Amino acid sequence: MSHPAHKSMKKLIERIIPQPPAPGMVGDGFRVFNYIPGAGISQKRISPFLLLDFNAEIDFPPVPPASEHLRGVGVHPHKGFETVTIAYKGSVAHHDSAGNSGTIHPGDVQWMTAGAGILHKEYHDKEYARTGGPFEMVQLWVNLPKAHKTVPAHYQAITKDKIATLQLPDGQGQINVIAGNYIIAGDFITAGDYNGVTGPAQTYTPLHLIDLKLKQGTTTSTSLPAAYNTALLVISGTATVNGQPAAEHSFILFSNDGDEIDITATTDTVLLLLSGEPINEPIASYGPYVMNTQAEIVESIREFHAGKYGVLE
């Protein structure tokens, strides 16, 4: 198979943001560091991404056998955007007001389109809760364009076996394509819609979401459109990114300049790459509602209080 000649320039790094100084609790089951928007990255700057919470690895103790309580977050609404939960360690169960439920195990991704509105709760899976142990998760919020903010709520349950995996040569690691179309030649990966590997997630605007697991000393290069808002989270380990050192749990925000990202793993490293075409529409947000105007936010809250999103115990 022949490949087109590649001409590119490196993406400039705008900022490297270290791990925020203190985590916060979401309910009693998620101990998270907030990078978007908590690290000073506005929702407009990183559009279509609205929020990134990183539950860095932590050991939760077992729930006592006599206890019925499962750690997590209780019933809450969502409207106007999507939540993407990526499980690295530990397992999370969920229920919603439409009667859907399931469990997200390590390596799985849950892509929930809240759309016109839904009630949701998520908590430690009972089996994991009884044993306790390492817990590591990412939750990402992705905006919906105005034309799709009121689509019926639905899920994409993307289990580990459904994720497109690219194995690097000589056991140097693997690249899991959650969303986005890719073509690989040697260890060079480039965005494209031809002869490519397609991530299973269906998205309402063009975006790429890639989980990279690299062995120490591995170098790989990725090309993404210059106009896309792009960032990289170091889940574990350390790396050099476009010549700059990136510590564990750091967040690299790229300028909209250039298209190539060169990554060298300086230890065994896990990274999450997110890149998307900006949605150039107004953002009005209030807690779990993300719309285009404040009037729509007020209406969303009224809908919630009127029971339009259903019932969930």
Q: Which residue has the higher pLDDT, 88 or 98?
A: 88
> Residue 257: inside a domain, yes or no?
no
**ω before 288 within 30° of 0 (cis)?**
no
Please list the residues that pair with 220 across neighbouring strands: 263
The candidate with the shortest Cα–Cα distance to 77, out of 38, 119, 135, 48, is 119
> Residue 50: inside a domain, yes or no?
yes
Confidence class for position 190, pLDDT limits 50, 70, 90: low
> Residue 243: inside a domain, yes or no?
no
> Residue 15: inside a domain, yes or no?
no
Domain interval for residue 28: 23-160
Angle at 39 (CA atoms; ends 289, 86), nearest 5 degrees = 60
Q: Which residue has the higher pLDDT, 197 or 51?
A: 51
Extract the tokens encoding 159. Answer: 């289990």
Provide mean pLDDT across the span 207-225: 92
Strand arrangement of the beta sheet that strand 239-241 belongs to: 197-198, 181-185, 188-191, 219-223, 260-265, 239-241, 244-246
Please tell me the total count of domains within the chain.
Answer: 1
Extract the tokens encoding 177. Answer: 């394509």
pLDDT of residue 180: 85
> Residue 204: inside a domain, yes or no?
no
> Residue 194: inside a domain, yes or no?
no
Q: Are strands 188-191 and 219-223 parallel, antiparallel or unpaired?
A: parallel
Cα distances (Å, whole numbers) of residue 213 to 42, 166, 205, 237: 28, 10, 26, 10
Q: Using only C-alpha atoms, what is the Rg of the chain?
A: 19
pLDDT of residue 2: 31
pLDDT of residue 167: 86
Q: For the segment 134-179, what is each residue's pLDDT rounded down to a tens digit?
A: 999 999 999 999 999 999 999 999 999 999 888 888 899 999 999 9
Residue 296, classed as helix, strand or coil, is: helix
Provide mean pLDDT across the span 195-214: 86
Ordered alpha helix ranges (H), the chain: 126-131, 294-305
CB atoms near residue 159 (< 10 Å)? 14
Please list the residues that pair with 275 across neighbouring strands: 208, 230
The candidate with the shortest Cα–Cα distance to 267, out of 237, 232, 245, is 237
> Residue 230: inside a domain, yes or no?
no
pLDDT of residue 134: 98
- Altogether, the residues listed in the chain come to a count of 313
Please list the residues that pair with 154 across neighbouring strands: 113
The candidate with the shortest Cα–Cα distance to 262, out of 294, 229, 204, 214, is 214
Q: Are strands 101-104 and 181-185 parallel, antiparallel or unpaired?
A: unpaired
Which segments of 125-268 are extended strands (E)?
A: 133-143, 154-158, 164-167, 173-179, 181-185, 188-191, 197-198, 207-214, 219-223, 229-236, 239-241, 244-246, 251-254, 260-265
Provide mean pLDDT across the span 297-309: 97
pLDDT of residue 7: 60
Extract the tokens encoding 259. Answer: 């298209």
pLDDT of residue 257: 94
User: Which residue type sits at 235?
Assistant: I
pLDDT of residue 198: 80
Q: For the segment 4-28, what is each residue's pLDDT rounded down to a tens digit?
A: 444 669 999 999 999 999 999 999 9
Which CATH number does the domain housing residue 80 bear? 2.60.120.10
Confidence class for position 216, pLDDT limits 50, 70, 90: very high
Instruction: Check residue 306 and report its DSSP letter.
Output: T
> Residue 29: inside a domain, yes or no?
yes
pLDDT of residue 210: 93
